Amino acid sequence: MRSIPLAATAAALALATAPAALADTTDTIQERGTVICGVNGSRAGFSSIDSEGRWIGLDVDTCRAIAAAVLGDADATEFVRTTSQTRFTALQTGEIDVLTRNTTMTYGRDASLGVDFAAITFYDGQGFMVPASLGVSTVDELDGASICVLPGTTAEQVVETVFSERGLSYTPIVFQDQTELAAAFFGGRCDAFIQSTSGLASTRATLAPNPADYVILDTIFSKDPMGPVVRQDDARWKDVVTWAVNAMITAEELGITSENVEEMRASGAASIQTLLGAGDSDIGEPLGLSNDWVFNIVSQVGNYGEVFERSLGAGSPLGLARGQNAMWTDGGLIYAAPLK
Amino acid sequence: MTDPAHLTAPVVPARRPPHGAPGPLARLKATYFPTPLQGLLTVVLGALLVVLLARLADWAVVGAVWSPADPAACSADGAGACWAVVAEKHRVMFFGAFPYEEHWRAALACLLIIAAFVVSALPRCWSPHLAWLWIATLALALWLMLGGAGLAELSTSDWGGLPLTLLLSAGTVSLGLPLALVLALGRNSTMPAVRLICIGTIELFRGLPLLAVLFMASLILPLFLGEGVTVDKFVRALVGMVLFFGAYAAEIVRGGLQALPKGQYEAAMSLGLPYWPMMITVILPQALRIVVPALVNDIIRAFKNTSFVAVIGLFDFLGATKASLQDPLWVRHTLEAYLFIMAVYFAFCWAMSRYALWIERRIDTDRPSHAP
């Protein structure tokens, strides 16, 4: 008897969340009224929840930008937390519309998992951090070192490759938990710590007893371009995600910010007015979006630079430098195809 | 007529107690200072204890930082426990990513479920009517958590924290117990097909770790369903937990069925009762009474097992706490947050285990064999 309500609700939930198979994702979203994004949920700067339970971070803002483009409302989002094991299954089965979960684009994933990488929102790489007192400046001096590394990550493969290529030996010190691993390193359990450079910078800024006592070695190993991932069978939806990211980058390039976007639409250059959907602009038409979709992204979420600064940069506790993620005009890698 | 000598002999005078003086002081001496060496040990250990307790109090109370206004205060030299992290993050710990303005709904749902558990725990309320209580409670809790009919609509991906933990526990127990009954009865059935299916189910899920069951439910199951058909993640986790709990509880119930004297079955059958009336009116009420303590034990475990769902991306109470501690400003002070949720988990589990003890004593007194 007790089982009836839950079972009935379970069945109802199952039916309610079953989208029509292989339907056009963009149409499905416009019908449903929300974009469902798969996020990490526990990675500061990319996706995490603040003290009031709100989602924040670069990946979260990518999702919000997509919602602003498709639905005109950056808050029409639903975040599903995924783990590194469940993320691709969730995408393949249609549980989420787009995976915005600091996922590295690789040939293997792109070619064999039935997914497409729609854009790159963050360029990362693997680096080593050592105590300054060790006096080490290159990896070649780390022969025989004990290395703190998270198991099952790119970092683990990188450290193996780097050391075996150079014919050096090392002892891996493995902890499952990021915070414990950092505590082990700062407690002197290992000589070096390998992680993504963004992770190293934030670990050093937040967990080191004295950040000045630790140096990040200059050489960066492996390329980790990360960005939103979509299902392979939906070209229109991929285009929407790609151009939502491109719009944020283009806005930064053109100096359009959430502050001045109104003004720019009213009195900017003609090309900018068209981009922002002023007058008889039909910029949304090719993708079946509203003509003010770029305006919605910039006014509700901001341009790429604004998002970076508040999530990862100087405006956040992580204090990451732009580095590789600077605009191409500033020597970085962030570059968008022209929006015209 | 004179009394024999042995009857008139003088009364034996009272003797002093063996030695030592009675009373608390003497007991204290006998316990802690029976010999000089042990006395010395008492003094040394006592001093150590005082020092440690003083330092603990200094850390946890005197030097503690309570206000979350300035995270840097926690990292200052000589600062004690950083309870500020709990003050700052308690909403996220308890409710995860549930919309901030709607937290009252989640809190109300929690209270409802706790109340339903308390009512069902009282022997005087044990009756089939409990089913109605649970239907009403769960329906109300689901309405509060999902919205609709006047409340803002939410989805299960918004759920998190304590409500998720409690809903999972309540769902696991309220669906798992009926499943356990069916499996246990089926295992004792004389029909070979039914018996084999039940034994197979029980052994399969008892033979797998819960983690594997959850991974199966969240990774393999959706692939079988094919593209475009998704089952809610919460429901998938719940199904996994129900099957796992049901398999264990079925074996407990079977123990109860086998502990009943054979005479009970024979008596019921001799009254001409068919199978189901016999089970429902005679056998199960007695068998379940015997196994209540063991079942409570399993329910405690099911409650704690809910923290496993973190691996498939649900923010249970522990998962929400972990997620809230990713905040770079507070990430150094995880210890205090974990101590806090440890206290909450302990309060729940301790209450349940005290209840198990109480119910054990109480059931023992009205066992059939003790009845006049």
ipTM of the complex: 0.72
Say whether A17 and B230 touch across the interface (CB within 8 A): yes
Query: What pLDDT was estimated at residue B367?
Result: 53
Distance (Å, rounded) from C-alpha B293 to C-alpha B363?
Answer: 9
Spell out the residues 6+ positions from residue B17 whose beta carbon is closer than 8 angstroms to its own. none
* Closest to A56 (Cα-Cα) out of A252, A315, A282: A315
The pLDDT mean for chain B works out to 85
Query: Nearest CA of chain B to the CA of A208: how many Å?
Result: 9
- The verdict on residue B256 lying in a domain is yes
Residue type, B93: M
* Closest to A320 (Cα-Cα) out of A199, A178, A154: A199
Confidence of residue B5 (pLDDT cuts 50, 70, 90): low
Distance (Å, rounded) from C-alpha A92 to C-alpha A22?
Answer: 11
CATH hierarchy code of domain A125-223: 3.40.190.10
* Closest to B241 (Cα-Cα) out of B186, B174, B296: B174
Candidates A39, A49, A231, A232: best to mutate against B (most CBs of B within 10 A) is: A49
Task: Give the tens place of pLDDT for each residue, A114-127.
Answer: 899 999 999 988 99
* Closest to B323 (Cα-Cα) out of A43, A34, A268, A298: A43
* Alpha-carbon distances of B343 from B60, B220, B330, B348, rounded to whole Å: 14, 36, 20, 9
Query: What pLDDT was estimated at residue A289?
Result: 92
Q: Does A1 touch chain B (CB under 8 A)?
A: yes
**Chosen CATH of A15-121+227-258+293-330 out of 1.20.1050.10, 3.40.605.10, 3.90.870.10, 3.40.190.10:** 3.40.190.10
Interface of B with A in 3-62 (CB under 8 A): none
Q: Does B218 touch chain A (CB under 8 A)?
A: yes
Write the CATH number for B125: 1.10.3720.10
Given B89, B99, B227, which is nearest A93 (Cβ)? Answer: B227
User: What is the SS3 assignment for A166?
Assistant: coil
Query: What pLDDT was estimated at residue A2?
Result: 38
Distance (Å, rounded) from C-alpha A272 to C-alpha A287?
Answer: 19
- The verdict on residue B321 lying in a domain is yes
Interface contacts A/B by beta carbons within 8 Å: 169
- What are the beta bridge partners of residue A78? A36
Distance (Å, rounded) from C-alpha A198 to C-alpha A120?
Answer: 15
Least confident of A121-125, A197-201, B162-166, B337-341: A197-201
- The verdict on residue B204 lying in a domain is yes
- The verdict on residue B19 lying in a domain is no
Q: Are the beta carbons of A102 and A40 closer than 8 angstroms? A: yes
Average pLDDT value for residue range A30-43: 90
> What are the domain boundaries of chain A?
15-121+227-258+293-330, 125-223
Average pLDDT value for residue range B299-319: 88
Q: Are the beta carbons of A334 and A327 closer than 8 angstroms? A: yes
pTM as predicted: 0.79
Q: Which domain holds residue B123?
A: 89-366
Q: DSSP string of B177-192?
A: HHHHHHHHHHHT-S-H
Strands A229-231 and A115-117: antiparallel
Q: Are the beta carbons of B148 and B217 closer than 8 angstroms? A: no
Average pLDDT value for residue range B166-186: 91
Q: Does A13 touch chain B (CB under 8 A)?
A: yes
Domains identified in chain B, total number: 1
Query: What pLDDT was estimated at residue B226?
Result: 64
Strands A98-99 and A35-39: parallel
- What are the beta bridge partners of residue A39? A81
- The verdict on residue B99 lying in a domain is yes
Query: Is the pLDDT confidence value at A19 over 50?
Result: no
* Closest to A118 (Cα-Cα) out of A232, A236, A241, A216: A241
